[in-house]
Structure 1
Amino acid sequence: MSQNIPPRYGFVNYAEIWNGRLAMIGILVGLSTELLTGQGILGQIGFG
């Protein structure tokens, strides 16, 4: 009994779509935090 389940890791469309979505969420969170605090990312973690 062989199942044709497509891989969900590596350079496949499924993984790349989620990678793009999570990157967009990360950028949105970073920009929102910068607008709320008035400091850039380096200032927020103590390097600026």
Structure 2
Amino acid sequence: MLSEGQIKTNQHTIEFAVIEQISQKFNFKITNISYTDYYGIIFGIEKI
């Protein structure tokens, strides 16, 4: 069971409406957002 982790998007831009739909479907919240050249945008997540 996943309690926390990361979503690595491999993208330089992303629509937050998509992330919001995914977070509601899988019942998690975003804890932080970071960016790297290799992984793109990275969202830290935590199970609600």
From the CA coordinates, give the structure whose radius of gyration is larger.
1
Which has the larger share of strand?
Answer: 2
Give the TM-score of the pair, scaled to structure 1.
Answer: 0.31
Which has the larger share of helix?
Answer: 1
Give the TM-score of the pair, scaled to structure 2.
Answer: 0.31
